[in-house]
Structure 1
Amino acid sequence: MKHDTRFSAMLHLLLHMADRNQPITSDELARYMAGNAAAVRRTMAGLRAAGIVRSGKGHGGGWTLGRPLQAISLADVYAALGTPDLFAIGIRNPAPSCLVERAVNASMQETLGEAERLVQARLQSITLASIAAELRARMAKLPLNPKEPHDA
């Protein structure tokens, strides 16, 4: 099963953007992800519509954060991406005639609903600023403390 990785990818890119004092192009962002610029632009469009990022065209253009890291929760980013499915499991038949399957569906829907509410609450409680602080603490423990922590 293929996982939807846009959420973690966008968090990754937003943190790279936070370290920049100037706009960053889609091509540069794509290099951080070993991806392509068109996919970055498509995915960033939802974040732009939500006010999380801004974009500028032309010479000196690119992507910038639309608000401070402490004003961006993980729930904000998740919602801007269209709230992708959190779980790969689900019910087999939404309208079964079998009473056993109805009982299974009711139990699963209640359990998955509760789990989604817990995840949403946790996403709301975490800001990009808190992740950036954790990143700085991790970097401080590195022997050579690199200037920019990326995988490209």
Structure 2
Amino acid sequence: MRRDSRLSVALHVLLHMPELGPVVTSEQMGRLLKANPVVVRRTMAGLREAGILRSEKGHGGGWSLARKLESVTLADVYEALGAPTLFSIGPRDESPGCFVEQAVNGALGKALEDAEALLLARLRGTTLADVAASVRRDAARVPRSGSRRTS
């Protein structure tokens, strides 16, 4: 099953934006992500609608942060992307007649609800600034001569 990587892509771009400049084009983002700029624009559109990014058309236009990294949680970005399905597992039949399958659905459903609640709480409790600070800490540990890729 193919994974939905839009959250990872959006977070990656948002964290690079401060170093790329006040305005970043879809083409620049596409090169960074090795992705088509059209795909980047589609992904970023939800972030614009949520007030996380702004966009300007025309010469000199592009994407810019509309909010400080401290004020954007990972949950904000997740929700701006349409709150994609978190887990790919689930019941075989939503309304089974079999008591065994009903019990399986109940057990799986409760476990998935608990896992989703925990994940969303973590996303709500982590800001983009928290992740950026983690990047800076990790980069500070790497010796200058042994540079590592950051994208």
Shared fold by TM > 0.5? yes
User: Which residue number corresponds to residue 8 of structure 2?
Assistant: 8
**Which runs of no fewer than 5 residues in structure 2 stay unpaired?**
none
1:64-117 deviation digits (Å, cap 9, x = unpaired): 011000000000000011111111111100011111101111111111011100
Alignment of 1:22-61 (within 5 A): 22-61=22-61
Moved over 3 A (4+): 145-151
CA root-mean-square deviation? 1.8
1:105-137 deviation digits (Å, cap 9, x = unpaired): 111111101110000000000000011111111
User: Which residue number corresponds to residue 139 of structure 2?
Assistant: 139
Aligned-partner residue type, residue 119 of structure 1? L
User: Which residue number corresponds to residue 67 of structure 1?
Assistant: 67
Aligned-partner residue type, residue 19 of structure 2? D
Q: Give aligned pairs, total.
A: 151
Q: Distance in 1 between matches of 2:111 and 2:143?
A: 45
User: Which residue number corresponds to residue 124 of structure 1?
Assistant: 124
Change (3 A) 1:142 1:119: same
Change (3 A) 1:130 1:81: same
Q: Distance in 2 between matches of 1:37 and 1:17?
A: 15
Q: Distance in 1 between matches of 2:147 and 2:71?
A: 25
Change (3 A) 1:119 1:38: same
User: Which residue number corresponds to residue 93 of structure 2?
Assistant: 93
Q: Which SS does the other structure have where 1:54 is aligned?
A: strand
Q: Distance in 1 between matches of 2:35 and 2:17?
A: 16
121-130 or 18-27, larger mean C-alpha shift: 18-27
Q: CA deviation at 1:47?
A: 0.5
19-28 or 93-102, larger mean C-alpha shift: 19-28
User: Which residue number corresponds to residue 78 of structure 2?
Assistant: 78
Identity of matched residues, %: 49
TM-score (norm 1): 0.94
**Which runs of no fewer than 5 residues in structure 1 stay unpaired?**
none
Q: CA deviation at 1:150?
A: 3.9
Q: Distance in 1 between matches of 2:98 and 2:18?
A: 53
Aligned-partner residue type, residue 141 of structure 1? R
